[in-house]
Structure 1
Amino acid sequence: MFQMLLRRPMLPLLALPLLLAPVPLPAQPGSGPYVVAESGRSFGRLQDAVDAIGEGEGTIRVAPGYHRDCAVQTAGRITFVAVEPGRAIFDGVACEGKAALVLRGAGARVDGLVFQNMRVPDGNGAGIRLEKSDLDVVNSLFRGSEEGILTADDPAATLTIDRSTFSRLGRCDRGLSCAHSVYTGAYGRVAVTRTRFEKGNGGHYLKTRAARVDINDNSFDDTQGKATNYMIDLPAGSTGRVVNNLLVQGRDKENHSALIAVAAEARDNPSRGLVIEGNRASIPQDIGRKSVFVADWSGEALAIGPNELGPGLVRFEKR
């Protein structure tokens, strides 16, 4: 069963081989790697491009290459888009000790960018720190950092992630709070679709305190994970759906007791009617342990439909 599940075709990923040979940044006089599409003005610093948009709406086109740069958005609606998807790489520089992009404006979209090697003193170095408002992330790659995306609370806002990859993220060490591949606060809605999670370095793959979730058609491949925990953690409870996902638990676990956890920390949100169906899940067959597909602390009636579970997986457990 375990090998059969791994034959599922991989989700669409970025053209990763192209990342090995990025195009050099433009060098001609008066040019810069960040262009505000509406005005045609180019900037040498990402923050200057963000500030040029100000309280308006605009698109910043990011040139191919390695960008050791970061920015804080405090107003306006901004789209950050790679000129060539997968070849505009933000590498190792975090603003405010938080992330490459710190977003607290009126809304943002990130398209085709790569974020890597983000580390900060508090252990939560992220590609994106979302502090308020809506954010759409598409066709982007987060890798080799402490965290991919980390948010504050905004019950009126929505985070959507589509066709993206989260690889070699998370940590639980140094006596600090754990970091996760994606960790959202109390957002109104979180939707994650057609996205791959893999090779976690600790913590959970997807942890969200959102009141409503749509986690659909993703792969959670923990076969090369190290000291990881749950694949999907809804620690405050949630409604919505977790459907059509592939979940493969690995061998090296800090906590192997469950793949999906509901309300393990609090019952801030209702969970009645949360739909969990159409998923395929497995654990290593020769490891001599069992695990639970859905562990529930909410005490509410979840809508657990048909799921394809490998040997050693218990369908449901009330905790």
Structure 2
Amino acid sequence: MRILSTLLLVSAAITASAFAQSAPAPFTLAENGRGFASLADAIGAIGDGKGTVIVAPGTYRQCAVQNGGEVTIKAATPGSAIFDGTICEEKAALVLRGRATMVDGLIFQNLRVPDGNGSGIRLEKGNLSVSNSLFRNSEEGILTGEDRGATVQIDKSTFRHLGRCDRDLDCAHGIYIGRVARLSVTRSRFDQGDGGHYLKSRAAQVDIRDNSFDDSGGHLTNYMIDLSNGASGQIVGNDMVQGKDKDNWSAFITVAPEGRENDSSALVIEGNKAGFVPGVERSSTFVANFTDDVVRIGQNQLAPSMKIKDRR
């Protein structure tokens, strides 16, 4: 019996070892099938080249920094890969300073840092494309620095329970885009904000189209769209609902409230729908313009109590 027990233990150990060796790694390079235990190591293996990291389903308490190259980080199954609560460099789950990054199908949640800007993604350099992703329960969804040649594209993504204006710190926002060449936000949803603006941008050109801004569950929020220094481009086909619990309900869209750096005379705002939750009726302004640029405001469907525009 003692010999049999020993043989069974040895057999079990061999089986467990074989299973561990054959178990797929959570992060795999699509180009060569090489697996890694951490996202940081997978991105590091791409280096200054070009590659795609496939992320297996799971919840990951890890973060990564990209220092070069062109990297795609893609969930094997959209919505099944969650980056939860772990921050690199006291900035974000992903800190990006390569040539370009594409993020597809990931979830970022529960991200906070001492300076109040804990983000799913912090873009410091290069181009960024985000699709089919969810940012929730954090101080900020996406935050970028200044790269005046860069483009940021966001499509089919959700930004929920983001933003803050507390602790005597500068506010955080659902998305805060710094001085880049172009921003595109399409077919995305913003809701249940916890402070700040839903979308704040200093980009020179914007394409903000076919999105939903649902502030009905928001708390101490401000503007739906803040073009801090003005912009050309378009804001078209968006649905906007302002909730009851506002820190600033005076406007839905602002143009250059922090100083004119970009010409907004070619900015087109049309085909949008804007109103209030049931039981709320305010004299909010749809477009508050802080410049003398004549913004092209076309036909929009607005609540009766709203003003179309004003000069501030």
TM-score (norm 1): 0.90
**What RMSD over aligned residues (CA atoms) do the two structures have, in Å?**
1.2
| 1:243 equivalent in alignment to 2:236 | yes
**Cα offset for 1:45?**
1.1
- Quote the Cα distance in structure 2 between the aligned partners of 1:155 and 1:301: 24
**Cα offset for 1:176?**
0.6
Secondary structure (helix, strand or coil) at the match of 2:31 reads coil
Question: Size of the alignment, in residue pairs?
Answer: 294
TM-superposition CA deviations, 1:91-132 (whole Å, max 9, x none): 000100000110000101000000000001110000000011
Contact 1:285–1:311 (CA under 8 A) maintained in structure 2:
no
Contact 1:118–1:126 (CA under 8 A) maintained in structure 2:
yes
Paired AA for residue 153 in structure 1:
E
Identity %: 58
Aligned counterparts, 1:201-220, within 5 A: 201-220=194-213
- Quote the Cα distance in structure 2 between the aligned partners of 1:30 and 1:103: 29
| 1:166 equivalent in alignment to 2:159 | yes
Look up the match of 1:14.
none
The match for 1:301 among 294, 297, 302 is 294
* Greater relative contact order structure (CA < 8 Å, 6+ sep): 1
Aligned counterparts, 1:44-193, within 5 A: 44-193=37-186
Look up the match of 1:278.
271
- Quote the Cα distance in structure 2 between the aligned partners of 1:28 and 1:222: 49
Secondary structure (helix, strand or coil) at the match of 2:266 reads coil
Paired AA for residue 94 in structure 1:
I
Look up the match of 2:253.
260
Contact 1:31–1:44 (CA under 8 A) maintained in structure 2:
no
**Cα offset for 1:33?**
0.7
Larger radius of gyration: 2
Contact 1:47–1:71 (CA under 8 A) maintained in structure 2:
yes
- Quote the Cα distance in structure 1 between the aligned partners of 2:259 and 2:125: 22
Contact 2:282–2:306 (CA under 8 A) maintained in structure 1:
no
Contact 2:202–2:231 (CA under 8 A) maintained in structure 1:
yes
- Quote the Cα distance in structure 1 between the aligned partners of 2:289 and 2:148: 23
Secondary structure (helix, strand or coil) at the match of 2:40 reads helix
Contact 1:217–1:243 (CA under 8 A) maintained in structure 2:
yes
TM-superposition CA deviations, 1:203-242 (whole Å, max 9, x none): 0000000000000000000000000000000010000000
Change (3 A) 1:309 1:27: farther
Runs of 5+ unmatched residues, structure 1: 1-25
- Quote the Cα distance in structure 2 between the aligned partners of 1:260 and 1:218: 14
Contact 2:77–2:105 (CA under 8 A) maintained in structure 1:
yes
**Cα offset for 1:272?**
0.8
- Quote the Cα distance in structure 1 between the aligned partners of 2:106 and 2:112: 18
Contact 1:104–1:133 (CA under 8 A) maintained in structure 2:
yes
| 1:36 equivalent in alignment to 2:38 | no
Look up the match of 2:225.
232
Contact 1:283–1:312 (CA under 8 A) maintained in structure 2:
no
